[in-house]
């Protein structure tokens, strides 16, 4: 028993040292540093070589009275898109909110504002994924004109504009609707939240939209907002800036 505990502590310490090398200046992480850490973590997950960093007893104890997550993630509730696992992060690193189809409402925006304004999180990730049930329901509802019923109607109603938008943009099928829903969600967040828009403009925050492939676990970037704004003061998608 004592040996097991000692072994566990040693492994925790080793994992902590590894993540120190990956990400030595966590406290003052910039948006670019946070984005790099996220991509490196996803690469480890994809390759089947996760470090499972910062998940030991020492880390748990150290965080009892504080948290400094370097990323806020707003993603789909799908059981296969487990946020901390697919980016190989540990306790206190990722501030997570998930709803089916990652649809926004006032409570979601308030939660994201808490992360950005009170916890000074430098990166916000919006995460969609292929074969999303909520997006599929919206897509089918768009095709048939029927509503699924119950409060699922609330989800579908919020995704439906992106289904129509995807068609208009030439993005076909469920995959196109997933990408469009992710892009639209990225843009909607600073449009609706002045607090988040200010953080973007001041360079304290970047927002990226990623889509996740269930089969290989890899993420692709579909939108990226930073401090650059257009003539109307709206954040410009850096991916399509030309």
Question: Under a CB-based contact definition with an 8 Å cutoff, are residues 55 and 12 in contact?
Answer: yes
Minimum distance, C-beta of residue 80 to Zn ion, in the bound complex (Å)? 9
Q: Tally the residues of the chain.
A: 242
Q: Which residues contact 239 (CB under 8 A, 6 or more apart)?
A: 221, 222, 223, 224
Minimum distance, C-beta of residue 44 to Zn ion, in the bound complex (Å)? 23
Return the residues of window 132-151 that contact Zn ion according to CB under 5 A. Answer: 132
Q: What CA–CA distance (Å, rounded) separates 223 from 186? A: 7
Return the residues of window 114-133 that contact Zn ion according to CB under 5 A. Answer: 132
Minimum distance, C-beta of residue 48 to Zn ion, in the bound complex (Å)? 23
Quick one: 171 or 201, whose CB is closer to Zn ion?
Answer: 171
Pattern of binders to Zn ion over 76-115, x per CB under 5 A? x-x-------------------------------------
Q: What CA–CA distance (Å, rounded) separates 156 from 145? A: 12
Q: Which residues pair with 35 in a beta bridge?
A: none
Pattern of binders to Zn ion over 38-77, x per CB under 5 A? --------------------------------------x-
Minimum distance, C-beta of residue 207 to Zn ion, in the bound complex (Å)? 19
Q: Which residues pair with 98 in a beta bridge?
A: 75
Centroid of chain to Cα 226 = 15
178 is a contact residue toward Zn ion (CB under 5 A): no
Minimum distance, C-beta of residue 26 to Zn ion, in the bound complex (Å)? 30
Residue 170: what are its φ and ψ, rounded to 5°?
80, 15
Task: Summarize as ranges the residues that interact with Zn ion (CB under 5 A).
Answer: 76, 78, 132
């Amino acid at each position: 028993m004592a040996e097991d505990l000692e072994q566990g502590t040693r492994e925790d310490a080793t994992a902590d040292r590894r993540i120190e090398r990956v990400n030595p200046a966590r406290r003052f992480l910039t948006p670019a540093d946070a984005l790099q850490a996220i991509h490196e973590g996803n690469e480890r997950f994809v390759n089947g070589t996760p470090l499972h960093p910062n998940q030991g007893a020492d880390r748990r104890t150290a965080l009892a009275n504080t948290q400094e997550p370097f990323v806020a993630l707003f993603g789909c509730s799908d059981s296969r898109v487990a946020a901390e696992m697919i980016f190989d992060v540990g306790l206190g690193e990722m501030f997570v909110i998930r709803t089916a189809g990652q649809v926004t409402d006032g409570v979601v925006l308030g939660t994201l504002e808490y992360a950005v304004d009170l916890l000074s999180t430098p990166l916000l990730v919006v995460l969609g994924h292929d074969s999303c049930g909520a997006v599929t329901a919206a897509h089918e509802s768009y095709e048939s004109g029927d509503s699924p019923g119950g409060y699922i109607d609330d989800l579908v109603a919020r995704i439906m504009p992106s289904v129509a938008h995807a068609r208009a943009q030439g993005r076909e099928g469920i995959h196109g609707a997933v990408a469009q829903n992710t892009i639209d969600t990225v843009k909607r967040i600073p449009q609706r939240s002045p607090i988040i828009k200010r953080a973007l403009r001041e360079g304290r925050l970047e927002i990226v939209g990623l889509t996740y492939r269930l089969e290989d676990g890899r993420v692709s970037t579909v939108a990226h907002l930073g401090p650059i704004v257009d003539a109307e003061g709206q954040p410009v998608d850096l991916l399509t800036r030309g």
